[in-house]
Amino acid sequence: MATAASTQEHFDTIVVGAGISGLYQLYKLRELGLKARIYEAGSNVGGVWYWNRYPGARCDSVGYTYQYWFSDELLSEWNWSERFPAQPETERYLNRVADKFDLRKDIVFNTRIEGAHFDEANGVWTVTTADGAKATAQFLVMATGGLSVPTNPTFPGQEGFKGTVFHTARWPKEPINFKGKRVGVIGTGATGIQVIQTIAPSVGHMTVFQRTPSYTIPIRNPKYTDQDRAAIRERYPELKHFVHETFSGFDFNPDPRSFYDLSPEERERFLQALWEDGSLKFWVGGFLEALTDKAANDEISEFVRKRIRARLKNPELAKKLTPTDYAFGTRRVPLENRYYEIYEQGNVDLVDLLETPIIRFVENGIETSAGVIELDIIVNATGFDAATGALTRLDLRGREGRLLRDVWSKGIHTWLGMTVHGFPNMFMTMAPMSPAAAFCNVPTCSQQQVDWITDCIKYVRDQGKQSIEPTADADDGWVRHHNEVANQTLVPKTRSWYTGANVEGKQQSLIAYIGGVGTYRNLCNNAKEGQYKDCVLA
Ligand code: N01
């Protein structure tokens, strides 16, 4: 492992973050023969899989599409145990990658980067760690993750609560004993649902504080046998290309037929088959009109609502847990496992915050407009300042000392979601205005972006140039295209982290490019083949 004492060094490239993108980026930079260093705030690799170790954390992507494709040896060695691997397995996988490719020797752990400044005179980036150490590099890759800055609710009286508060994205490594405890969970998104359904059977009593119910899909998660794995491996040579050509980075595409090509009965049968797949295929592998056409979406939303209601005996509960005021698929659709049944098992209460809002935290619990609910533990499953958060909280300054936070406060702009005008030689993964920020199976887009960034760095060096930066027109053009595509869909009409609505004061715009992973990749490839004509090389 690299040590903090050597941080005064100069590197060809500094990478911030040792998650899925950062690890692969380091591997690719080494292939180019560059001197590279990763700085990572955590004590180990894994990024989102290192931080989000809450009970029930599980990948909603099928495991064999949620992996690296660059090494046939790795592909042949790693055995996924089930269709949707739980957090420990994915974390083990990323550790295995770090060990196998000897990546740790160029990673400094337990080191948070607080700022990065571009020195125009010398054409270098200087990064500063939380303890004031500095290092310089020609290129900077912000592999800081799209979902790495947790958002905590700010209710009055929080500091006075005498129990324990956890955020799911900062979960301790030691197991928590919930036995006999009164537990409150705030939030019913993908994370809340996983944690609720997992710990509800073992807590004394649980109170779920729900503001918005989710549309969900029941997960189908068989364990794999050797035979299953052998069959899946046979598909790897094809899959490693195909995932990049799809709409959302999985191993399927939306159906080529229009919703209206089928009769209502045929549609019902088609949707039922997708439903029984027990995966996100129901969301992004059905009719594309689900995301663009209100009437089609209404029918699909009702299909899901009917199945949620049917799971609950208590009509009042069914009403509260069934979303009715937004369109299916315009917020992230969680997979669930016996989520609805836990509300009828006897020790779980649902508080609908639209009816009885939280007034404040008190010493012994949470006070809503209906009175105090006594709690020992509060779990905030309240989400993230997505895509922009990890970048705007830093003192990240480009040319003329311009702070990215200020630049984006007037409107987020990027070129291809990977670079920003005014920030030469700075690249980003999982950042705004690329599918990777929300509408992509993360490893697919992460690898595509890292490959593109690596090629771009190589091009600059091969040309004997020092820096590359998109023009202001390039950013403007990408923003226009991004918005045009976004506005053809129903997604911006719903408030969620996809639109920045979950963070006070955040720019309200669709955070991720929704034109499709394959389309995006083609646009990125065109930029490369066109020799980055939308950029200034100096
Ligand atoms: O966060 P969220 P998440 N008072 O923002 C509620 C990925 N993921 O951590 O919707 C009361 O979706 C909030 O209510 P509302 C996945 O991409 C992946 O669940 O704002 N409630 C909502 O219910 C996902 O989309 C996997 O009305 C408050 C919840 O908290 C993303 O992570 C697993 C509140 C936040 O939901 C984020 O999911 C899990 C307040 N003040 C997650 N503030 C895998 O596949 C917030 N809420 C591995």
Q: Whose CA is nearest to atom 48 of ligand 1?
A: 59
Cα(57) to ligand 1 centroid in Å equals: 13
- Mean pLDDT, to the nearest integer, of 392-408? 97
Question: Ligand 1 pocket test: which of 53, 211, 356, 384 has the largest number of ligand atoms within 8 Å of its C-beta?
Answer: 211
Interval 235-294: pLDDT, tens: 999 999 999 999 999 999 999 999 999 999 999 999 999 999 999 999 999 999 999 999
Burial class (CB in 10 A: 0-12, 13-18, 19+), 361: buried
59 Cα nearest atom in ligand 1: 48
Contacts of 340 (CB under 8 A, 6+ apart): 308, 311, 312, 321
Cα(497) to ligand 1 centroid in Å equals: 8
155 Cα nearest atom in ligand 1: 41
Query: How many Å from the N-terminal Cα to the C-terminal Cα in the chain?
Result: 35
| pLDDT value of position 129 | 97
- Mean pLDDT, to the nearest integer, of 201-207? 97
* Assessment of whether the complete model's pTM goes beyond 0.75: yes
Residues with CB under 6 A from ligand 1: 58-60, 147, 153, 186-192, 194, 209, 211-212, 332, 353, 381-384, 497, 502
Interval 372-395: pLDDT, tens: 999 999 999 999 999 999 999 999
Amino acid identity at 284: V
DSSP string, 480-538: HHHHHHHHTSSGGGS-SGGGTTTSTT---S--S--S-HHHHHHHHHHHHHTTTTTEEE-
Interval 5-23: pLDDT, tens: 444 799 999 999 999 999 9
335 Cα nearest atom in ligand 1: 45
Q: Whose CA is nearest to atom 9 of ligand 1?
A: 383
Rounded CA separation 419/18 (Å): 20
| pLDDT value of position 3 | 53
Cα(387) to ligand 1 centroid in Å equals: 14
Mean pLDDT, the chain, whole residue set? 97
Torsion of CA 19, 21, 26, 30, to 10 degrees: 150
| pLDDT value of position 507 | 86
CA neighbor of 193 nearest in space, from 347, 83, 60, 39: 60
Contact at 8 Å (CB) between 427 and 453? yes
Rounded CA separation 246/489 (Å): 18
Q: Which domains does the chain have, with CATH numbers?
A: 9-149+385-515 (3.50.50.60)
Interval 474-500: pLDDT, tens: 999 999 999 999 999 999 999 999 999
Q: How many CA atoms lie within 13 A of 450 on its CB side?
A: 29
* pLDDT-based confidence at residue 1 (cuts at 50, 70, 90): low
Contact at 8 Å (CB) between 20 and 94? yes
382 Cα nearest atom in ligand 1: 30
Rounded percentage of the chain residues whose pLDDT exceeds 90: 98
Rounded CA separation 164/182 (Å): 11
Amino acid identity at 372: V
**Backbone φ and ψ of 439, nearest 5°:** -105, 50
Question: Ligand 1 pocket test: which of 360, 502, 504 has the largest number of ligand atoms within 8 Å of its C-beta?
Answer: 502
Cα(131) to ligand 1 centroid in Å equals: 32
Contacts of 175 (CB under 8 A, 6+ apart): none
Sign of CA dihedral 195, 197, 202, 204: positive
- Mean pLDDT, to the nearest integer, of 287-303? 98
Cα(383) to ligand 1 centroid in Å equals: 4
Cα(12) to ligand 1 centroid in Å equals: 37
Please give the DSSP secondary-structure letter assigned to residue 326. S
Rounded CA separation 335/249 (Å): 17
Interval 144-167: pLDDT, tens: 999 999 999 999 999 999 999 999
Q: Which residue has the tokens 């004492």?
A: 5
Rounded CA separation 381/192 (Å): 5
Question: Ligand 1 pocket test: which of 58, 152, 191, 214 has the largest number of ligand atoms within 8 Å of its C-beta?
Answer: 191
| pLDDT value of position 2 | 59
| pLDDT value of position 530 | 98
Structure tokens at 204: 């004394």
Cα(188) to ligand 1 centroid in Å equals: 6
- Mean pLDDT, to the nearest integer, of 392-417? 97
Q: Whose CA is nearest to atom 18 of ligand 1?
A: 190
Rounded CA separation 397/509 (Å): 23
**Backbone φ and ψ of 164, nearest 5°:** -110, 140
Cα(191) to ligand 1 centroid in Å equals: 6
Give the Cβ contact number of residue 260 at 10 Å: 12
Q: Whose CA is nearest to atom 7 of ligand 1?
A: 190
Contact at 8 Å (CB) between 297 and 291? yes
Cα(418) to ligand 1 centroid in Å equals: 25
Interval 207-237: pLDDT, tens: 999 999 999 999 999 999 999 999 999 999 9
- Looking at the predicted structure, is the pLDDT value of residue 203 above 60? yes
Contact at 8 Å (CB) between 457 and 471? no
Please tell me whether residue 372 adopts helix, strand or coil conformation: strand
| pLDDT value of position 8 | 77
Cα(150) to ligand 1 centroid in Å equals: 10
Rounded CA separation 492/510 (Å): 6
Q: Whose CA is nearest to atom 21 of ligand 1?
A: 187
Contact at 8 Å (CB) between 69 and 26? no
Cα(41) to ligand 1 centroid in Å equals: 23
| pLDDT value of position 7 | 47
Please give the DSSP secondary-structure letter assigned to residue 4. G
DSSP string, 205-269: EEEEEESSPPP-EE---PBPPHHHHHHHHHHHHHHHHHGGGSSSSSS----SS-GGGS-HHHHHH
Q: Whose CA is nearest to atom 16 of ligand 1?
A: 190
Please give the DSSP secondary-structure letter assigned to residue 417. T
List the Cα angle 97/101/107 in 5-degree steps: 85
